[in-house]
Chain A
Amino acid sequence: MALKQALPRVTAEGSESQITPQKMPFLARLWRDAPLLVMVAPAAIVLLLFTYIPLLGSVVAWMDYVPFLGFTGSDWVGWDNFTALFSDQAFWSAVWNTLQITFLQLLLFFPVPILLAVLLNTVAVPMAKNFVQSVIYLPHFLSWVIIIALFQQVLGGAGVVNRFLITHGLTPFEVMSNPDTFKLLLTTQAIWKDAGWGTIIFLAAIAAIDPGLYESATMDGAGAWRRFWHITLPGMRPIIVLLLILRLGDSLTVGFEQILLQRDAVGPGSAEVLDTFVYYNGVVDGSWGTATAAGLIKGVVSLFLVLAANKIAHRFGEEGVYKR
């Protein structure tokens, strides 16, 4: 059954088969793990230089930062930037919109690349499979301006569909500027643009599954559905969980550019998300403090979400992002 363990997933037993490290003296561990530390070094240095040290600049969240006065010359304003955000009802409305969109995308968008990858995996004609694989991520490269314009050309008030309805005496429908369905529209656009792009990583996960497993499962009489359920899905599960947790951590971030372009059409009531709110209430005024404060708030919220999601993943025996 060596093959069974060749599954590309981390099992709890697998990880504990390590030498128990805590028993070793520090110097011995250092000697043993020095190569690993050297390997991490380049990435760690880059992160230190271009993320951690610049992160010190986040003090401007407590400042009325003015670029020409610099960090030392700008005034300290305490928690003003934070309270200004928290006390604005529009801020909470934007947060609520953001969470709704995130939820919709988790529900409707997140599974699509997984299903697409599985579907592609079952295509046995190499030509067809290669072709679809090579074109499926095309829309990812088009800007939102183009994607939205094309949506409008098809579904807009004067779009192909509505023109057809009008000429056949049917009632046209309003999609592009309907605040009630706007979040669904956003999700649909996002699926169109990026679902194909998203399949790539799942295809890689499937590629890592040993075909021998399918072979022996078929020998044992497993049908397509059972093969999917017992081999393909478990093989993809770690990466699915990983991406799910990371997406959850990013709950307060949804497509800024996509929404900014369509915000006027449906109004801030349903289209204002956290990032556009910060843009219109901080960035346009050159208020760096507000924008930085919002970034920090998002970071803290993400931290909690990731920790919580990770914990839940552990309950289900998954590795998640991070495991003690």
Chain B
Amino acid sequence: MEIRNRSGFAASDEGLSRRNLLRSAGLAAALIPLSGVLAACGSDSGGGGAAAPAAAKGVPLPTYVPPVKPKALLEGSAEGVMDVYASFPMDGPRTVNGTIGDGSDFNVLIMTYGQPSPPVDQSPYWQLLNKELNLNVIPHQVPYADFQTKFPALVAGDDLPEFVSVPLYENVARLPQLAEAQFTDLSEFLSGDAVKKYPNLAGIQKAGWLNGYLNGRIYGVPKSDPVFSTQIYTKTDVIKAAGANPQPTNLQEFKDLAKAVTNAQAGVYAFGGNIADFMMMMFGVPNKWTRKADGTFVSAWEHEAFIPAMSELADLYKSGCFHPDTPTLMTNKVQRDALFRSGKLAMLYDGNRSVGIVADDKDVVFDIMVPFGKDGGNAVHWTGGGAYAMTMIKKTTDKKRIDMFLRVLDYIAAPFGSRESFIMSYGVEGVDYEVKDGVAVLTTRGQREQDLGLAYIAGGPQVLCDPQGAPGVDKLNHDWQQKVVPMLLDNPAAHLYSETFNAKGASLQQQMQDAVTAVFLGREPASGLTAAVQKWKTGGGDKMAKEYAEAAAHAG
């Protein structure tokens, strides 16, 4: 109705196409992370892009110096298994010495995943950090889902604050060029052994650094991310009641499980969302690209197992073990989660961090399914991009300022168990946290003040530590991670630069997602994917392959 379209929007804009569109685009960006599983991997390489065509040989990445860490309850591994701790040590060692800041303003663009922080005069946590850093921290908070809307405006208006943290799960258009034009090349300070001046930054691993490694130079300091991408949660009671086996080891057993738990009369179904990625990994489809021996790149869409995997997926859907509302549930994570918790879905396929959301309800007893190959044996497990945010400093030649910036990030990146890390995570005793049975427990106020978000702009490997969470979940996750490590598969193009990907990657990816969804829901036969892949190739896929091959050859 025009009344809504026009006047409803009249106050904010003239109801005109362009701005309406972009306004809604912000919203859309919010919805996309939950629109099915494909999204989980759809944007991870977006922040990538390294050696630009003309760049000279890149500088060495920062040297990795493993951080000193307290004894873990369950030890992680260099391959990415996360350490598990029962609780956060409250008397950890100092990892940062001396005064950090010079009392100046520290304007920083931060994604906010929660509400806006309480103002500084009402936030002892913020005051404490100001004191610790000897700075006046001024966060410019942007709701993470609106980043794609606000960021271009800030860039166009030259309004970016001095320090900027960008999310890497969003496709920041032409990030390498932007970095080169507006941000400081940190190579001199971070490349090779130089990073050792900032020991906590030296504790960040290569997979993280690659995200800030643009045009062969180091522009950003990453906030590292676990290497695992997605998990299937299985609801123990539902599967038990159906007398099924919650841990299949091949496709047939998987199908048997799905059929066994489905009970349409009772409204119970195996799944409520698209599991296309899971099927592809089960069939051994590579992580977006394969680099062949001759240096050429071939996309996963062209892999021989892709279409058979999708064909199985379509059959599974047709067999009726997906919730009848799956088409709409794909874009409604809230409802999907509710159905899983209440036992209407026996399985839930989601990003690996959802374990926290699932485990949030302590009454929900669940397990995590270990991936398997279609004929038994191992599946592949696609790794993520290595980091979810990175932080940069606007172009400056003031070396003291750059050094201060890195010292601030060094503080923020302090590893688990250190004094600094404890302060970042817990704030002021008696206000932000209380000690119960020797364990620090965040108060509601403490949780609120954490919305400052400063903790999420830089950091090394994360750990599993949730003393207030459901018992056993961290161990469950740890065990799962150990079993998945041998299946990990990187995307060989993740940090290579492709001009085509940079300009058209997101829309090309969408085309393929649409094609996969159509097959999944039975609108198109799986054989139709051949044409979709061909369209993807001529639309830019072939060019991307060529550009990746060149970039890889260049990088050596």
Contacts and interface: CB of A to CB of B under 8 A. Distances in A.
B505 interface: yes
A109 B1 contact: yes
Interface stretch (B171-179, B346-354, B372-380): B171-179
Given A265-B331, A267-B514, A285 B178 contact: no
A294 B276 CA distance: 33
B504 A285 contact: yes
Contacts of A166: 264-265
B510 A280 contact: yes
Contact of A246 (B6, B148, B331): B6
27 contacts: A51-B14, A68-B156, A105-B1, A140-B4, A152-B325, A156-B325, A158-B323, A198-B1, A243-B3, A247-B1, A256-B20, A257-B28, A260-B28, A265-B327, A267-B517, A267-B521, A269-B518, A279-B21, A281-B507, A283-B21, A285-B503, A286-B171, A286-B172, A291-B18, A291-B22, A295-B16, A295-B18
Most chain B CB neighbours (cut-off 10 Å) among A158, A179, A264, A267: A264
The secondary structure that dominates the A interface is: helix
A194 B328 contact: no
A278 B174 CA distance: 19
Nearest to A66: B174
Contacts of A257: 24, 27-28
Contacts of A107: none
B251 interface: no
Contact of B152 (A67, A194, A200, A264): A67
Contacts of B5: 250, 253
B181 A68 contact: yes
A256 to B, nearest CB: 5
A267 B518 contact: yes
B489 to A, nearest CB: 26
A285 B506 contact: yes
Interface in A50-79: 51, 66-70
Contacts of B518: 267, 269
B324 interface: yes
A128 interface: no
B68 to A, nearest CB: 40
Contact of B21 (A157, A159, A190, A256): A256
B130 interface: no
B191 interface: no
B267 interface: yes
Contact of A194 (B1, B323, B503): B1
Interface string A71-114: 00000000000000000000000000000000001000110010
A187 to B, nearest CB: 11
A253 B325 contact: no
A267 B1 contact: no
B330 interface: yes
Specify which of A167, A198, A292 lies most central, judged by the most chain B CB atoms within 10 Å of its CB. A198
Contacts of B8: 140, 197
A198 B5 CA distance: 11
Contacts of A179: 523
B155 A177 contact: no
**7 closest Cβ contacts across the A-B interface?**
A157-B324, A286-B173, A177-B327, A265-B327, A295-B18, A284-B506, A67-B156
B36 interface: yes
B517 A264 contact: yes
Contact of A177 (B21, B182, B267, B521): B521
A111 B148 CA distance: 38
B323 A157 contact: yes
Contacts of A190: 1
Interface string B257-300: 00000001101000000000000000000000000000000000
Interface in A107-131: 109-110, 113
A198 B173 CA distance: 40
Contacts of B184: none
A241 interface: no
A261 B31 contact: yes
A157 B325 contact: yes
Contacts of A68: 155-156, 174, 177-178, 181-182
A294 B16 CA distance: 12
Contacts of A195: 1
Nearest to A298: B17
Interface residues of B, number: 58
Given A156-B324, A246-B2, A69 B173 contact: no
A73 to B, nearest CB: 9
Interface string A179-213: 10000000000100011011011000000000000
Contact of B28 (A253, A265, A279, A298): A279
Contacts of A232: none
B325 A264 contact: no
B35 interface: yes
A206 to B, nearest CB: 16
Interface string A257-285: 10011101111110000010011111111
Contacts of B521: 177, 265, 267
Interface string A133-176: 00000001000010011001000111100110011000010001
Which interface residue of B1, B21, B326 has the most chain A CB atoms within 10 A? Answer: B1
A208 to B, nearest CB: 17
B483 to A, nearest CB: 32
A287 interface: yes
B330 A265 contact: yes
Residue in A68, A257, A298 whose Cβ sees the most chain B Cβ within 10 Å: A68
Between B27, B325, B521, the greatest number of chain A beta carbons within 10 A of the residue's beta carbon is seen for B325
Nearest to B2: A247
B173 A162 contact: no
A201 B7 CA distance: 11
Contacts of A70: 156
B17 A253 contact: yes
B444 interface: no
A262 B328 contact: yes
A283 B22 contact: yes
A179 to B, nearest CB: 7
Contacts of B523: 179, 267, 269
Contact of A152 (B3, B264, B328, B517): B328
A195 B332 CA distance: 26
